[in-house]
Amino acid sequence: MLRNATCDITPRRRRVSTDAKPAGKGRSARLVACLALAAAAPVDALEIEITEGWDSPTKIAVVPFGGPAPGGVDIAAVASADLARSGQFAALGSENMLSLPTVADEVYFRDWRQLGRDYLVIGRVSVASGTAADRVFALDYTLFDVRAGREAASGRLSFAAALARDAAHRIADDVYQAVTGVRGAFSTKILYVLVRDPASARTSYHLTVADADGHRERELFRSTEPILSTAWAPEGGRVAYVSFETGRSVIVVQDLTTGQRQRVAEYKGINGAPVFSPDGAKLAMSLSRDGNSEIYIQDLASGDLRRVTRQPNAIDTEPSWSPDGESLIFTSDRGGRPQIYRKDLKTAFVERLTFQGEYNARGRLLPDGRRLLYVHRRERRYHIAWQDIETDAPPILLTETALDESPSIAPNGMMMIYATRKGGLGVLGAVSIDGRARLTLPSRRGDVREPAWSPFLAGPNLQAPGA
Residue 464 pLDDT: 64
Beta bridge partners of 150: 145
pLDDT tens digits for 25-81? Answer: 333 333 322 222 232 233 445 766 655 555 689 999 999 999 999 999 999 999 999
Start-end of CATH 3.40.50.10070 domains in the chain? 56-180
Amino acid at 373: L
Contact 403, 422 (CB under 8 A): no
Residue 23 pLDDT: 36
Residue 15 pLDDT: 33
Residue 85 phi/psi, 5° resolution?
A: -65, -25
Residue 70 Cα distances to 84, 135, 141, 170, angstroms: 22, 9, 15, 15
Residue 48 pLDDT: 63
Amino acid at 201: A
Residue 466 pLDDT: 59
CA-nearest of 416, 392, 414, 395 to 404 is 416
HEC secondary structure over the chain: CCECCCCCCCCCCCCCCCCCCCCCCHHHCCEEEECCCCCCCCCCCEEEEEEECCCCCEEEEECCCECCCHHHCCHHHHHHHHHHHCCCEEECCHHHCCCCCCCHHHCCHHHHHHCCCCEEEEEEEEEEECCCCCCEEEEEEEEEECCCCEEEEEEEEEEEHHHHHHHHHHHHHHHHHHHHCCCCCCCCEEEEEEEECCCCCCCEEEEEEEECCCCCCEEEEEECCCEEEEEECCCCCEEEEEECCCCCCEEEEEECCCCCEEEEECCCCCEEEEEECCCCCEEEEEECCCCCCEEEEEECCCCCEEECCCCCCCCEEEEEECCCCCEEEEEECCCCCCEEEEEECCCCCEEECCCCCCCEEEEEECCCCCEEEEEEEECCEEEEEEEECCCCCCCEECCCCCECEEEEECCCCCEEEEEEEECCEEEEEEEECCCCCEEEECECCCEEEEEEECCCCCCCCCECCCC
Start-end of CATH 2.120.10.30 domains in the chain? 189-453
Q: What is the pTM of this model?
A: 0.87
Residue 56 pLDDT: 85
Over its length of 467 residues, how does the chain's per-residue pLDDT go in tens digits? 443 332 322 233 333 332 233 333 333 333 322 222 232 233 445 766 655 555 689 999 999 999 999 999 999 999 999 999 998 999 999 999 999 999 999 999 999 999 999 999 999 999 998 887 789 999 999 999 999 999 999 999 999 999 999 999 999 999 999 999 999 999 999 999 999 998 889 999 999 999 999 999 999 999 999 999 999 999 999 999 999 999 999 999 999 999 999 999 999 999 999 999 999 999 999 999 988 999 999 999 999 999 999 998 999 999 999 999 999 999 999 999 999 999 999 999 999 999 999 999 999 999 999 999 999 999 889 999 999 999 888 999 999 888 999 999 999 999 999 999 988 889 999 999 988 888 888 777 689 999 999 999 998 888 766 55
Residue 142 phi/psi, 5° resolution?
A: -140, 140
In CATH terms, the fold of domain 56-180 is Rossmann fold (3.40.50)
Residue 425 pLDDT: 87
* CATH superfamily of the domain spanning 189-453: TolB, C-terminal domain (2.120.10.30)
The whole-angstrom separation of Cα 388 and Cα 4 is 36
Write the CB contacts of 199 (distance below 8 Å, at least 6 apart in sequence): none
Kindly give the interhelix angle for 164-180 and 75-85, rounded to the nearest 10 degrees: 40
Query: Angle at CA 313, nearest 5°, toward 310 and 317?
Result: 60
Contact 374, 385 (CB under 8 A): yes
